[in-house]
Structure 1
Amino acid sequence: MIRASIVLAAFAAVITPAISRAAPIVTPAVVRLDSPESTQQILVTGTGVGGRPIDLTRTVTYEVANPAIATIDPTGLLAPRADGRTELVVIAGADRVRVPIEVSGFATLRPVSFENDVIPLLTKATCNAGGCHGKAEGQNGFKLSVFGFDPVADHAAVVMEARGRRVFVAAPESSLLLLKGAGRVPHGGGKKLDEGTPRYRRLARWVAEGAAYGRGDAPPVVSLEVEPAQRLLALSGTQQIRVTAVDAAGGRRCVSAEAEYDSNAPSIAVVDRRGWVRASDIPGESAILVRYHGHVAVSRLTLPRPGVTFPRPAEANFVDRRVWDKLEQLGIPPSGLADDAEFLRRVYLDTIGTMPTPDEARTFFAAADPNKRAKLIDQLLDRPEYADYWAMKWADLLRVDRDAVNPKAAIAMTRWVRKQFAENRPFDQFARDILTARGNTAKEGPAAVYVVMSTPEELGRSMAQLFCGVRLACAQCHHHPSDRWGQDDYFALAGFFSGVTRKTIPGGGTAVTNGSGGDLKNPRTNTVVPTRALGAAAVAKFDGVVDRRNTLADWLSAPDNPYFAPAVANRIWAHYFGRGLVEPVDDIRPTNPATNEPLLADLAAHLRDGKYNLKAFTRTLLNSRTYQLTSRPLPGNADDAQNFSHAAAKALPAEVLLDAISRATGVPEKFNGWPEGYRAIELWDNRVPSYFFRIFGRPLRASVCECERSNEPSITQALHLMNSPEIAEKIRAKTGTARKLADSAKPPAEIVNELYLTALARLPTDQERLQMLKVFAEAGPDRRAATEDVLWALLNTKEFLYNH
């Protein structure tokens, strides 16, 4: 307590000069506590410089007129002691704010409800989390439903299982539930409750009252209110969050001490278990997710850097306008434009997954046309490698796995996907074809999707993640902990795929057909769930509908669909800019908002208005000044990782990196069973043996999540690049780049220039050229060794391994 007081006093001294003379605002204006274990978080808000709200909750002084009625701690948490009335005095400098307090429920106790009062305690203590008793097999013979989604079963597990030894009504303090929770007997999960706290007292009172389930007519919680819902926060500032649960009868009670908190951007702001947010010194935005009893809400905090102004750069299109707006709000200056070499390599690798050749680089550098970048973008979008690269990416997401669907089906599916991108098929039609696919999997088409994903449930959650950016997997077993979706939503969506059937046909293929299907049952409640799309009303009837999936496809591509266009726009943005506006890219939900919501809305509208023309959409992104910013940060934006003030460095995907090594060394990779000359981005066979693919994170296509591809650097990767015999053989190959240059009549300076153009798509700086010429000088007449050494060094640079 002494240490905490010192810290609070020091913090108060730092921020006091910024507080205006306006009296602080205290919420709630009146406090009503209706049970011995209820608490109320007080929130004190002052007015900072410029009229900006500033949190004073932990810097003011609190006094309760009659401490026998209620007490308050230095964090602003008020607790009752006896029935009666008194008042709280909040002292902020010369200001005094008085708050009436009314306490009831001591003389006539309200019975503790297991569902409404005990389940939240178990959740707060993480007892029913997946890492403890909430996992599928439970823990040490004690199993709870995850996050308390099945309170009836949980009550039986606590009270009746294990011969009732977990609760002891005659002596509540001797109940195993309390003994282990308070750490008075050994407990694998450690201490979860402090004796004497409101949570401990409530649990003990529940046991003393008979450990009953509770009244069936107790109004359930229907929503959460979070204060502040939105706030500008000073760098390194703090903010207390107050949470109010609202029940079906309109009742309100503070659950700030019982709610769970999580930050979606810990580098911007972190939050503790009491809802106290501490901001970092990095400008940006953080959404604080608040969970309580199956409900979620969010507090959005924006951290601007004060006093920063910069000349607003020119705008190429609406992308730049929205990005500059955000950077101005946050006080983050954008970097300058990338030079031609940086732009050239970036746009080649991003768009076609292929390095430019030295001749292509020279031609681009020499061109004086002011529109040469826009023209290059148009040329790249029309190259066959564009379709190859994007077919590879979508074959990953659609799980085109040779072992799961057989080689013929994998080839047919890959060819079909490539054709869609080569012909620039509108993406809504591409999605519709996948949703309604049928026919022989060995024939060109998307039917193989329905072989690798074989159940209505798997298809429903996969299509939601792919095309709506909604992760439904949690809702199969329990209510989604961070979103609105429950089990009924999960099985309602799966109902669209209930008619899909598969038949083996002569020759070993599979025919995907579709019958009438039917609504599915929720296996937990054993009730039939009417088929409906996400957030939509149930389909009135499917009479005369041959394929239920057509109804889902109509909903998906409808202009007013709130999920499809933002999900597609965010996924494509993430590819070109290194991170999504929503991150992860396939986890779009109100509690995980976009870092620039106006921009995402404009991108979605642009995609819809453009009839889902992916090349036109991509052209808009690539022609923006934002995309063409340099990756070299400024002092004012070096720590920005979410607002696109400078280009992000992106590790090359395994296939692109292997192709780049082959291009730089002049020696194509030979894949087992494949004709020579095929590039890695052209392979349909995801099971082709390759140690390189394995260590550099090529996905096995076991899920539809972008996260399956790993681009995290590792020591194994570094050692392989430095010591791999296969790469060394490419560098030393008789027909390779190094040997040809070494055997040519070019002087060392020209050889160095050519190696830089080949590996990095740029010429060396004067300093780099001098360093590399020293290698040739030290090698003497052995030009071959010097050339190979320079090429090896370039292949091991971060500049080669990353797109930037």
Structure 2
Amino acid sequence: MTKTLWAVLLSLVFGIAPARAAVVVTPPAVRLDNPEASQQLLVTLPAADGTRTAKYEIADPAIAGVDAAGMVTPKAEGRTEVRITHSGETIRIPVEVTGLKAPRPVSFEQEIIPILTKASCNSGGCHGKAEGQAGFKLSVFGFDPAADYQALVNDARGRRIFPASPENSLLLAKGTGQIPHGGGKKLDKDNLRYRRLMRWLKEGTLYSGSPVSPVTAIEVEPSQRTLALGSTQQLRVTAVAADGSRRCVTAEAEYDSNAGTIAGVDGRGLVTAGDKPGEAAILVRYMGQVTVCRVTLPRPGVKFPRPAEANFVDKHVWDKLERLGIPPSDPAEDAAFLRRVYLDTIGTLPTADEAKAYLADASPDKRAKLIDRLLDRPEYADFWALKWSDILKVDKDAVTPQGAVAMTRWIRRQFADNRPYDAITRDIVTAQGSTTAEGPAALYKSLGTPEIAARSISQVFLGVRIECAECHHHPSERWGQDDYWALAGMFSGVTRKPLPGGSEAVVWKGGVDLGPKVSKKANGTQTIPAKPLGAASREYAPTDDRRKVLADWMTGPENPFFAPAISNRLWSHYFGRGLVEPLDDMRATNPASNEPLLAALAAHLREKKYDLKAFTKTLLLSRAYQLSSKPTPANQTDEQNFSHAAVKPMPAEVLLDAVSQVTGVAEKFNGWPEGYRAIQVWDNRMPSYFFHIFGRPVRYSVCECERGTDPSIAQALHLMNSPEIGAKVRSRNGLARKLSDSDKKPEAIIDEVFLTALSRRPNDTERAKMLEAFADGDRKNATEDVLWAILNSKEFLYNR
């Protein structure tokens, strides 16, 4: 019989209360083996963290010390114990201190570099930037210890180190603030980092000779934790070395939260929960190794009836909301759903007639039928061609106007024909031929080097950002320089040759392996073998187009990045926020807000053989997508779990088309035939003040973040005062004039404007307010005022 069952039996039969849940302290023993060693103790209760509320006492303070946060440090060799008292219970942890009388030498690479990193000395904002700072340059995050040693010990005639009097070394004087330092005070004389630096200086600033084994992994405890709102949790970080040894590096590791409003973390690894439910990932970084602690904050005491499930999407969303105690909003009304799904799917507003017909339809499956109709409309291909032209950098200046037309037409045809996404990707990655023929070859004019091609293709199709690994190990992921240059080598044979008539063709002309310290023309003695990310190396014949191998690997069924990346991108578009944010920064240290859902979406996409329309229909049919954007008091602070629909700004092109459609006056684009809509225009450099202030991207990068979405005063002023929009409202051929010249009553005019702009009829309060404009009998001005007011409303400007 288990202890738990025995305790329950005693309670029921004999009235004996079960014992109080024990306090758990880890590790069970502390061993400190050098003068600057430290060990963080964790005190854990069944439902709380007791580390910062426990009381600590050292039996022999001459041997070791312990602070109020449970950090044990050495003072003299010997044995003692720590007594931890919490909730009336006392636990004794043995402590052994060794290695103080004849300590092993300090390792510059393994023990000094972490100090510089913790103090941010080698960050990009300080001495780690390309030109250094104040004549002192370090490698970013310590990726090149040999160069850092040279800069610290030998450069500037060794002025930073004073061997004859180590305590007066410039390194320590500036670090402790004794001498003015632009980075401020970084060290206290009584802390372990200062003492380690001092010992290294006294030992003669050795670069090698220390037996400290390199770190191969780090572990964080706890790796997952459910916390009450406003509570805390201490973390402990352990470095695992190549020789199997382990040491506590809690005081030396770096910490960051991906959702600081949910749970923040300080430099000692203390996690503090916020006041709203959700999840946060606490990134822990040490010596190029990274790991994550997942923190969950449920809302206490909340139970709600689970809504019905339309498909697997709802199951995973409801599971997460139920676990967090966040009830979802009600389903969106028909008018809100109608307008939302039009704008999301085809970037176009429904007409007033379409809105009337849909609102009058009483069939239970009308939403599913509407989704099918939208996915078959030509505007679907127009809109998604615009989006992917942004992502694929179809910049007229970079790829030429002819190339821009060719790529845009090709992209549009892929969506019109609903080609599988993996086939589209393969064509893009392996593109060749004329850059002015309809196809994706012009892409390689904007991806001008193997390095740019590698990081762009990786970010777009794999959701993996490797750009920073060009110069140093990725600060929050496993990718290093070897991975970066190995992937770049997959594109090293791409070149362009001139064609008759002045155009160019993309061709493959023999790939070579690349590397960070050699010319691209080097013979490979110092190069890195080309291979996809995380894949095994292989031999290539000089004529092999390595991109075909890359495309096979990318679109293969076992690829861990490809299907999740496009699943997350599409989810972000329709739901207003990715399961992973930023949407193209997918890594173990930036986990999805709902990992089971992302895995299920990726599996569903593979099952559908990368049919984007079928996948999109699954998203749109889910009840989660069809929730109202109106938050409830219980979910209004939720920003990551999709308890209510997101309110999304319209893209610049969609907004301009909407203004034109509602006013009944088409936009005239310079040099374009009349009747073209903004989402059909391929010319990303066409001058337009409207596009400029509403955030049209210049297609400089493959990141969707380039498109501006933040509201501004300039936008509001333009909508209210621009002569171009005013002319559309007052046009003799526009909607306002047609309505005012008709025999419709004011009530009917107001209804028509609302249906045209908002896909709904006004409520009684809105109708009464709008009728006041007609009080003086001037139908023309009144109708224009009503239309102008609606165009400037938040409801019109945002997709809800």
Q: Calculate the TM-score normalised by the size of structure 1.
A: 0.96
Q: Secondary structure at the match of 2:527?
A: strand
Equivalent positions of 1:2-401 (< 5 A) are: 21-48=20-47, 54-215=48-209, 218-401=212-395
Q: String of CA shifts for 1:346-396, please: whole Å, max 9, x gaps.
A: 000000000000000000001111111000000000000000000000000
Give the C-alpha shift of residue 20 in structure 1. 8.7
Q: Secondary structure at the match of 2:751?
A: helix
Give the C-alpha shift of residue 526 in structure 1. 7.2
CA RMSD of aligned residues (A): 1.3
Distance in structure 2 (CA, Å) of the matches to 1:132 and 1:155: 17
Question: Which of 759, 765, 768 lines up with 1:767 in the alignment?
Answer: 765
Moved more, 666-675 or 130-139: 666-675
Question: Which of 728, 739, 742 lines up with 1:741 in the alignment?
Answer: 739
Equivalent positions of 1:204-603 (< 5 A) are: 204-215=198-209, 218-523=212-517, 527-538=526-537, 540-543=538-541, 546-603=544-601
Question: Which of 684, 696, 699 lines up with 2:697 in the alignment?
Answer: 699
Where does residue 657 of structure 1 map in the other structure? Answer: 655
Distance 1:541 1:260, change over 3 A: same
Q: Give the letter aligned to residue 797 of structure 2.
A: L
**Does structure 1 conserve the Cα–Cα contact (< 8 Å) formed by 2:428 and 2:441?**
yes
Give the C-alpha shift of residue 468 in structure 1. 0.4
Q: Secondary structure at the match of 2:710?
A: coil
Q: Give the letter aligned to residue 36 of structure 1.
A: P
Name stretches of at least 5 consecutive residues in structure 2 with no aligned partner: 1-17, 519-523
Where does residue 7 of structure 1 map in the other structure? Answer: none
Which runs of structure 1 show a deviation greater than 4 angstroms over 4 or more consecutive aligned residues?
A: none
Q: Secondary structure at the match of 1:589?
A: coil
Distance in structure 2 (CA, Å) of the matches to 1:713 and 1:80: 56
Moved more, 618-627 or 540-549: 540-549
Equivalent positions of 1:682-721 (< 5 A) are: 682-721=680-719
Question: Which of 765, 774, 784 lines up with 1:788 in the alignment?
Answer: 784
Q: Give the letter aligned to residue 785 of structure 2.
A: D
Q: Secondary structure at the match of 1:277?
A: strand
Equivalent positions of 1:638-677 (< 5 A) are: 638-677=636-675
Q: String of CA shifts for 1:465-513, please: whole Å, max 9, x gaps.
A: 0110000000001000000000000010111111111012222211100
Q: Secondary structure at the match of 2:585?
A: coil
**Does structure 1 conserve the Cα–Cα contact (< 8 Å) formed by 2:104 and 2:211?**
no
**Does structure 2 conserve the Cα–Cα contact (< 8 Å) formed by 1:346 and 1:803?**
yes
Q: Secondary structure at the match of 2:380?
A: helix
Moved more, 106-115 or 611-620: 106-115
Give the C-alpha shift of residue 668 in structure 1. 1.1
Q: Give the letter aligned to residue 90 of structure 2.
A: R
Distance in structure 2 (CA, Å) of the matches to 1:500 and 1:509: 16
Q: String of CA shifts for 1:437-486, please: whole Å, max 9, x gaps.
A: 00001100000111110111111111110110000000001000000000
**Does structure 2 conserve the Cα–Cα contact (< 8 Å) formed by 1:222 and 1:248?**
yes
**Does structure 2 conserve the Cα–Cα contact (< 8 Å) formed by 1:228 and 1:299?**
yes
Distance in structure 1 (CA, Å) of the matches to 2:740 and 2:179: 75
Moved more, 493-502 or 426-435: 493-502
Q: Give the letter aligned to residue 715 of structure 2.
A: Q
**Does structure 1 conserve the Cα–Cα contact (< 8 Å) formed by 2:392 and 2:443?**
yes
**Does structure 1 conserve the Cα–Cα contact (< 8 Å) formed by 2:511 and 2:543?**
no
Q: Give the letter aligned to residue 772 of structure 2.
A: K
Moved more, 95-104 or 787-796: 787-796
**Does structure 1 conserve the Cα–Cα contact (< 8 Å) formed by 2:458 and 2:466?**
yes
Distance in structure 2 (CA, Å) of the matches to 1:435 and 1:718: 41
Q: Secondary structure at the match of 2:669?
A: coil
**Does structure 1 conserve the Cα–Cα contact (< 8 Å) formed by 2:106 and 2:210?**
no
**Does structure 1 conserve the Cα–Cα contact (< 8 Å) formed by 2:509 and 2:543?**
no
Give the C-alpha shift of residue 217 in structure 1. 5.4
Q: Give the letter aligned to residue 444 of structure 1.
A: E
Q: Secondary structure at the match of 2:152?
A: helix
Give the C-alpha shift of residue 545 in structure 1. 5.7
Where does residue 752 of structure 2 map in the other structure? Answer: 754
**Does structure 1 conserve the Cα–Cα contact (< 8 Å) formed by 2:329 and 2:632?**
yes
**Does structure 2 conserve the Cα–Cα contact (< 8 Å) formed by 1:169 and 1:209?**
no
**Does structure 2 conserve the Cα–Cα contact (< 8 Å) formed by 1:285 and 1:300?**
yes
Provide the identity percentage: 65
Q: String of CA shifts for 1:389-430, please: whole Å, max 9, x gaps.
A: 000000001000000111001000000000000000000000
Q: Secondary structure at the match of 2:271?
A: strand
Where does residue 11 of structure 2 map in the other structure? Answer: none
Distance in structure 1 (CA, Å) of the matches to 2:525 and 2:322: 54
Where does residue 5 of structure 2 map in the other structure? Answer: none
Q: Calculate the TM-score normalised by the size of structure 2.
A: 0.96
Q: Give the letter aligned to residue 697 of structure 1.
A: G
Distance in structure 2 (CA, Å) of the matches to 1:23 and 1:604: 43
Distance in structure 2 (CA, Å) of the matches to 1:407 and 1:123: 47
Q: Secondary structure at the match of 1:587?
A: coil
Q: Secondary structure at the match of 2:771?
A: helix
**Does structure 1 conserve the Cα–Cα contact (< 8 Å) formed by 2:459 and 2:702?**
yes
Q: Secondary structure at the match of 1:527?
A: coil
**Does structure 2 conserve the Cα–Cα contact (< 8 Å) formed by 1:20 and 1:46?**
no
Q: String of CA shifts for 1:125-144, please: whole Å, max 9, x gaps.
A: 00000000000000111000
Q: Secondary structure at the match of 2:122?
A: coil
Distance in structure 2 (CA, Å) of the matches to 1:20 and 1:295: 41
Q: String of CA shifts for 1:585-626, please: whole Å, max 9, x gaps.
A: 000000000111111011000000111000000000001111
Where does residue 11 of structure 1 map in the other structure? Answer: none
Distance in structure 1 (CA, Å) of the matches to 2:722 and 2:256: 43
Q: Give the letter aligned to residue 81 of structure 2.
A: E
Q: Give the letter aligned to residue 466 of structure 1.
A: V
**Does structure 2 conserve the Cα–Cα contact (< 8 Å) formed by 1:491 and 1:522?**
yes
**Does structure 2 conserve the Cα–Cα contact (< 8 Å) formed by 1:567 and 1:586?**
yes
Q: String of CA shifts for 1:650-691, please: whole Å, max 9, x gaps.
A: 111111111111111111111122122111110100000011
Give the C-alpha shift of residue 795 in structure 1. 1.1
Distance in structure 2 (CA, Å) of the matches to 1:653 and 1:414: 18
Q: Secondary structure at the match of 2:72?
A: strand
Q: Secondary structure at the match of 1:522?
A: coil
Q: Secondary structure at the match of 2:515?
A: strand
Q: Give the letter aligned to residue 177 of structure 2.
A: G
Where does residue 9 of structure 1 map in the other structure? Answer: none
Distance in structure 2 (CA, Å) of the matches to 1:261 and 1:190: 20
Q: Secondary structure at the match of 2:240?
A: strand
The alignment status of 1:800 with 2:790, answered yes or no, reads no
**Does structure 1 conserve the Cα–Cα contact (< 8 Å) formed by 2:451 and 2:485?**
yes
Distance in structure 2 (CA, Å) of the matches to 1:38 and 1:574: 46
Q: Give the letter aligned to residue 417 of structure 2.
A: E
Distance in structure 1 (CA, Å) of the matches to 2:608 and 2:19: 50
Where does residue 15 of structure 2 map in the other structure? Answer: none
Give the C-alpha shift of residue 214 in structure 1. 2.6
Distance 1:291 1:175, change over 3 A: same
Where does residue 12 of structure 2 map in the other structure? Answer: none
**Does structure 2 conserve the Cα–Cα contact (< 8 Å) formed by 1:20 and 1:47?**
no
Q: Give the letter aligned to residue 35 of structure 2.
A: P
**Does structure 2 conserve the Cα–Cα contact (< 8 Å) formed by 1:133 and 1:139?**
yes
Give the C-alpha shift of residue 238 in structure 1. 0.8
**Does structure 1 conserve the Cα–Cα contact (< 8 Å) formed by 2:511 and 2:544?**
no
Q: Give the letter aligned to residue 61 of structure 2.
A: P
